[in-house]
Amino acid sequence: MTNSKHETEMSLQDNLTPQIGIPHPVTGLDMSVVSDARVAEALPQLLTEWRMKKRWDDMPPQTRALHQKLLIGYLTTGAPPGIAGLNPAILEDLQQRDLIVLRDGALQSAYPFSTRKTGHKVRINGITNFCVCAIDALGAPAMAEKAAQVALNCAVCDAAITVRIGGAGLELQQAAPKDARIWAGIIPIKGCAADTQCQSMLAFCGDQHLNHWRGQQPGPTNGFAFSIAQALQAGAAIFRPFLQKGTAPT
């Protein structure tokens, strides 16, 4: 490990304090970062109590530690550690909790990060990672407590959407285009979220293309149309607890 990589990892580790990201006792979300009423309404529908209990209930300390190791690997190197030397039973526990996705003997994703190329990117401390969905990309900076740049693409026209985030990952500094929208779909989770709900967590350059996309879907589209600021709050509430020190959210 180079000195610069080691220093970056230590800097991230130093930010993990027990007071940060205290989750709601039922939902597993950090609602302290949510001031928007629509976001507060949406989160329990997007992430049900049953799903959060499955994710966090009775998580052993060693499972929590490996989960955070994987996330810090992405943050410090742009890739997860190789899984060959990791405990397979703990990896399977994380997969059953839908915190990671394993495919073909490799780590495909550890929410919010994706090893595979996607249309959602976040740059933190000079390291760029792909993310599973648009809300994941907007929530990752709050998880790391770092300023960041997020790059998304409109799901209809592929136009670039850029977001600059400051304030320990909680402050929207700039979004272009300013009227960009994030669609957060409410759909059944079958298998893992990455293959189902996350496929509907998309960015759009504005309401016109969001409405066009909804009109092209084969059935009704249930969900929430967020501004970038609202999506940032939603992502922060979801991911800020992930690198919290101590026991898993309960």
Q: What is the pLDDT of residues 158-208, one digit of tens each?
A: 999 999 999 899 999 999 999 999 999 887 666 655 555 556 789 999 999
What pLDDT, on the 0 to 100 scale, is given for residue 195?
52
Q: Do 47 and 98 belong to one domain?
A: yes
Q: Do 97 and 154 belong to one domain?
A: no
Q: Do 181 and 126 belong to one domain?
A: yes
Domain with residue 156: its CATH number is: 3.30.450.410
Rounded CA-CA distance 173/93 in Å is 38
Residue 140 carries which side chain, given as an amino acid letter?
A
Contacts of 48 (CB under 8 A, 6+ apart): none
Q: Do 155 and 231 belong to one domain?
A: yes
What pLDDT, on the 0 to 100 scale, is given for residue 200?
73
Q: Does 245 map to a domain?
A: no
pLDDT means per 10 residues in the chain (250 residues)? 43 39 56 96 86 83 94 94 91 92 89 93 97 96 98 97 97 98 81 58 96 90 95 96 68
Among the candidates 75, 98, 115, a domain finishes at 115
Check if the beta carbon of residue 137 is closer than 8 Å to that of residue 162: no
Q: Range of 125's domain?
A: 121-237
Dihedral, 154, 129, 239, 228 alpha carbons, nearest 10: -30
Q: Does 31 map to a domain?
A: no
Contacts of 7 (CB under 8 A, 6+ apart): none
Q: Do 143 and 58 belong to one domain?
A: no
Burial of 217 (0-12, 13-18, 19+ CB in 10 A): exposed
Among the candidates 88, 115, 142, a domain finishes at 115
Q: Do 86 and 156 belong to one domain?
A: no
pLDDT in tens, 120-141: 999 999 999 999 999 999 999 9
Rounded to two decimals, the pTM is 0.86
Pairing mode, strands 121-124 and 127-131: antiparallel
What pLDDT, on the 0 to 100 scale, is given for residue 188?
64
Among the candidates 61, 86, 115, a domain finishes at 115
The total number of structural domains that make up the chain: 2
What pLDDT, on the 0 to 100 scale, is given for residue 193?
57
Q: Do 212 and 136 belong to one domain?
A: yes
Q: Do 133 and 222 belong to one domain?
A: yes
Rounded CA-CA distance 250/240 in Å is 14
Check if the beta carbon of residue 141 is closer than 8 Å to that of residue 148: yes
Q: Do 41 and 74 belong to one domain?
A: yes
Q: Does 146 map to a domain?
A: yes
Q: Do 103 and 210 belong to one domain?
A: no
Q: Do 86 and 194 belong to one domain?
A: no
Exposure string of 156-172, with b = 16+ CB inside 10 Å and e = fewer, is beebebebebeebbbeb
